[in-house]
Structures are given as structure tokens and as C-alpha cells.
Amino acid sequence: YNLRERQDRHYINELFGYEDIDLLERTFGYDENKNAIEGDWLAYDSLEYFVENSDMSLEVNFQHLKDNIHYDEFIDYWILEVFAGNFDWLSNNIKFWRPRSGEDKWRWLLWDVDHGLGLDYEYGGVSWGDPATDHLAWSTGFEGPRVWGGANNRIIRAILRNDKGRINFINRFADLLNTKLSYSAILGVIDSLANILSLDIHYQADRWNGDMADWYNSVDNIRNFVLDRQQHINNHITNKFDLDSIYQVTLDIQPVNSGTIQINSIPISTFPWSGTYFSNVPITISVTPSIGFAMDHWEGTDNTTDTFILDSLEQDTSIIAILMPDSILAPSINILGVNTEQEYLLVNPQTYEPPELGDCLIMNYPYEYVGPCDSAYFDIVIQNSGTAHLIINDYHFTDELFPIVDNRWNVVDTLPIIIPPASNDTIQVRFIPWRYTNFDYWFGIRENTLVLENNDPDNDSVSVSLSIPVVLNGTGYTLSIYGWTPEWTADGPNQPIVDFGTVSIGDSLDTTIVLTSYGIEELEVDGVLPAEIPFSLVAD
């Protein structure tokens, strides 16, 4: 037993929003295995009568079929059932629906495929769970169990009687075998689901006196079926459509990241890419240049257009799209200016606590001071004076004086940053110091260079100088020493005040006090006032 959604009118309404529908199924227990869950069979029977009794090689008739079904979805549905090797099908477990208003087309629902993926089942002298069994010929022909002389596969047979439909079916099957139905892709799904179920499957075994070893063996059987299935499917397609052979197609693009390629229904952005396709079947290949690039030529074919059709593969084929920077349609980057939100960066050390991300930790041996730091934001105005979109796709910082780890510079905006032709945009850079910094050299001017990587063919790496003065916050806290224990006390507004608190001198009759100003104004000592315990100033 298992738990799954009930495919009824509520299911359709929730997913698609229709209430008044024809929801039909071929299933055992009904006259001619035809059950109307909702509505009736009149419209569907009329469509099947049309395709069964019309010349489907004619474009007008073929288009009428496509106008009444979700064509691409139906082909995917049939391919999946065939690949899985589902025998409990055709006269059973087929569901399809449409709104009775006719405002949408017929759609098929995947349902009850537990006879697929290698389930051991013998019927009519055929092992239907064997990966070598030809479910393609069975499900698209007139012979065999559950086909009923072609009564249960009229739609797919109508598609395959049309040249375009046949090519669509073969190429879509090849596309899926190269992607979603490849062994590596399906194995990833199997392993993911097995890992999820393995946490609870022992409850099933305990409840029904089962054996966990049987479950693991069943999962391995699915893996083995998928491993062997693709080779047999290729042979089934070759035999069904009387094709000569299969060949490898390898696609690449130069320079790197200059565009994408599509083969039939597969968009490709990672190269080189390889897939298997059939001879005697035309395949369509096209290139889409990235902004700032244009198609120059293909290597491996004489075609010169962005899109071309290979009429028939005769050998393993390698094709490379060669793109060039578009001299007519190209971006041009220009830095108009850099503005910061504040004149200096304020550092506010407060208490001695473990540092957190975003805190300043200032070291003045043997003591450490931790506190929050303000961030400085720079607005960099960038102009695209070219005739194509400017794309800033990467950046990095350089620092001639200090390691970058001493402070954090980063671009706030998400990459890539795209600026249309003849337009300006502003990107924001943030400076936030953190980690361990030396109290003696950390304050002062912080200078870095931002390097912007972009697609301007004449200036693809642009440097922008950034600088920010870093000062101790004169309006927040200044250093006070009590028995050489670090403590931060409140200070007055924006002035260079020094408060020593109590200085322990031990048995010594005199001591030396070093004054250092870290404020944002000049520190001027113009007098000394005695505290409760008299003392005298030796030098000033």
C-alpha cells in the first residue's frame, strides 16, 4: 500500500483552476475499460475518430490534432511510460482530462507506474520487467496484450504517421536520453529517494514481517534496470523507425562564456557537451550570443547562420560555435564618479567580549578591545556609452599597503550587474573593518582599488580607487584605564578628550604617562588639575 494524491476533480481544480471538466480513464471493471470520472467521452471519442480516419500526413489534419492536445506534454508522457517499461497500461491506468468548455486542450496524467523500472512480471511469454523488452514497438503497434488492435494507442500512432511528428518523437526521446533519462540523472533521483525512505522503511518491515535485505535488493534492481535500459531503448528506436545507426554529437563554444547553444529542445550553457543522436533524423542546432558578441562562424560544419539543421548524421560529429566581440554592437564602460556617504569611518569599541562578524577587535598589547564598527558605503556611478548592454560579471579588490583580510570591502549589488546602452547605474561598495587589527597603525586613511570585470571589448578590466579615513569615535567612547583594566567610558561630542582615571604606580615615586591623540580634532594639553591625592607635574 502507498499514500498518494487522489486524481479527481478537486485535484484538477487545485492545480489548474477548472471545475467543469471531462476527466476520463481507461481502467478495468468498466465497459470497454472506459470510465468517465467526470463528464463524458463524447469530445474525446470524436477526436480519436478523426485521427484514426484522417490522412495524418496532411499538415491541416496534423495541426488539428495539435490544436486539441498538449502536444509536447503528450510526447513526454509516452516516452516516460515506454522508458519505464510499464506493462500495466494502455487498457488500464491511462487518465486524461480537459475543461468541457474547450478553452484548454487534453492533458494526460501519470498514474500507477509500479509495473515499471524492472518489476519482474511474466505475461504472454514476455518478461515485461526485462530492460531489453521492446515497450516502444508494443505501445505503438497493433499486436500484443492490452493494445486491443490499436484501439488504445490511436493518438500516438496518429503522431507517428506524420513526418514532423515522427521526427519530433525521435528527437525528443534522444534529448531526454541525453538529459533527464540519462543513467546519472536517474541514479541521482533513485539514491535521493532511497536515502529518504531508508530512515523509515524498517517500520514497514517490522509491521509486515518483511526483510530489509529484500528492500535493498529491490532498489538495486531499479538501478540495474536503468543502467541497462538506455542501450536497449536506442536499439528499439533504431528498429522501430528503420534508422541506420546512432552517433555522438559534441558541441562547444569559443570564447568561453560568449553564448549558449541549443540542440533540438536542450539549452546548453556548460561546454564541451556531448550527446547521442540518430542517423536519418534531422537535428536543429542554434547559437545565442551573449550581449556584446556576434556569431562569426561554425567549425565542423559549412553552415554560416545562427541556426541550422543537420539533415542526417553519418559519423561522430564535433561542432564549435566561434563568436567574436561585436564591434558595431558593444558596450563601453565609463566611471563617472565615486561618492561616499560619510567623511570618515567611526569605530566604537565598547566592552571586552568575544568578537562577532562585523565587530572591530583592536589589539594594543597585551589588551584587546572589541566593539561594533560602522560601515562606510561608496556609490560608484557607471556609464554605458556603448550600443549594447554592459555586463559587470565579477570584481576583486587590491591593496598595496595592508592585507585585505584586515578589512572588508565588498560590492553590495548582486552580480551580474547589467546596464543598458546609453544609461547610467550606481553600484554600492561597502567597507566594514573586522577581525584582528593593530591599534598602532589601523587608524588613518584606508585605500583600496576595486577592479570591475566586464564585457567592454576595449576595456574589460576597470580599476576604481577607493579611500576612507578611519578614526576613533570622538562622540561615542574613548579609552580609560583603571588599574590597567581596559574600560570604555562615554565621551563628549566630537572632541579629543583624554581621561586616565586611576593610574596605579605601585612603590614608584614617579611615573611616565604617554599621551596619544586618536580623536578627530587636534589634542591640546593646556593644564593639569590635582585630584584628591596631591601630585606634581615634572615635565610638560
Torsion sign across C-alpha atoms 399, 401, 403, 407: negative
Torsion sign across C-alpha atoms 488, 492, 497, 500: negative
Beta strands at 317-325 and 246-254: parallel, antiparallel or unpaired: parallel
Q: What pLDDT sits at residue 489?
A: 36
Sequence-distant (≥ 6) Cβ neighbours of residue 49 within 8 angstroms? none
pLDDT in tens, 207-259: 999 999 999 999 999 999 999 999 999 999 999 999 999 999 999 999 988 89
Domain boundary among 300, 325, 350: 325
* Count of domains observed in the chain: 4
| Amino acid symbol at 34 | K
The answer as to whether 384 is a domain residue is yes
- Shared domain for 151 and 222, answered yes or no, is yes
- Shared domain for 416 and 514, answered yes or no, is no
- Shared domain for 94 and 140, answered yes or no, is yes
Torsion sign across C-alpha atoms 193, 196, 202, 203: negative
- Shared domain for 170 and 252, answered yes or no, is no
Please state, as a whole number, how many other Cβ atoms lie within 10 Å of the Cβ of residue 336: 10
First to last CA, the chain: 93
The answer as to whether 1 is a domain residue is no
Domain range holding 117?
Answer: 9-240
The answer as to whether 3 is a domain residue is no
The answer as to whether 33 is a domain residue is yes
Q: What pLDDT sits at residue 488?
A: 36
- Shared domain for 513 and 438, answered yes or no, is no
3-state secondary structure of 208: coil
- Per the CB < 8 A criterion, the answer to whether 277 and 313 are in contact is yes
b/e sequence 503-529, b meaning 16+ C-beta within 10 Å: eeeeeeeeeeeeeeebbbeeeeeeeee
d(CA 198, CA 190): 12
- Shared domain for 318 and 184, answered yes or no, is no
d(CA 78, CA 90): 10
Domain boundary among 278, 298, 325: 325
d(CA 328, CA 316): 36
Ramachandran angles phi, psi of 43, nearest 5°? -65, -40
- Per the CB < 8 A criterion, the answer to whether 496 and 522 are in contact is yes
Domain boundary among 296, 325, 354: 325
Q: What pLDDT sits at residue 290?
A: 86
Q: What pLDDT sits at residue 522?
A: 62
- Shared domain for 68 and 191, answered yes or no, is yes
- Shared domain for 107 and 212, answered yes or no, is yes
- Shared domain for 43 and 133, answered yes or no, is yes
Q: What pLDDT sits at residue 118?
A: 94
Strand partners, 277: 247
Q: What pLDDT sits at residue 437?
A: 42
Q: What pLDDT sits at residue 397?
A: 83
Q: How many residues does the chain have?
A: 540
Name the pTM for this structure. 0.66
3-state secondary structure of 444: strand
Torsion sign across C-alpha atoms 304, 305, 306, 307: negative
3-state secondary structure of 181: coil
Which cell numbers in the block locate residue 434?
A: 573586522
- Shared domain for 148 and 124, answered yes or no, is yes
d(CA 129, CA 113): 12
Strand partners, 323: 295
- Shared domain for 517 and 421, answered yes or no, is no
CATH code of the domain in which 392 resides: 2.60.40.10
* Residue 404 DSSP one-character state: G
The answer as to whether 2 is a domain residue is no
Burial degree of 46 (CB within 10 A; 0-12, 13-18, 19+): exposed
- Shared domain for 528 and 466, answered yes or no, is no
* Residue 43 DSSP one-character state: H
| Amino acid symbol at 536 | S
Evaluate the omega torsion of the peptide bond into residue 416 and state whether it is cis, within 30 degrees of 0. Answer: yes
Which cell numbers in the block locate residue 484?
A: 590597567
Q: What pLDDT sits at residue 4?
A: 82
Q: What pLDDT sits at residue 475?
A: 38
The answer as to whether 4 is a domain residue is no
Which residue shows C-alpha cell 567574436?
Answer: 324
Which region, left, alpha or beta, applies to residue 220 given φ > 0 means left and ψ of -120 to 50 means alpha? alpha
Q: State which residues of the chain have pLDDT below 70.
A: 1-2, 327-328, 340-375, 399-408, 432-446, 468-540
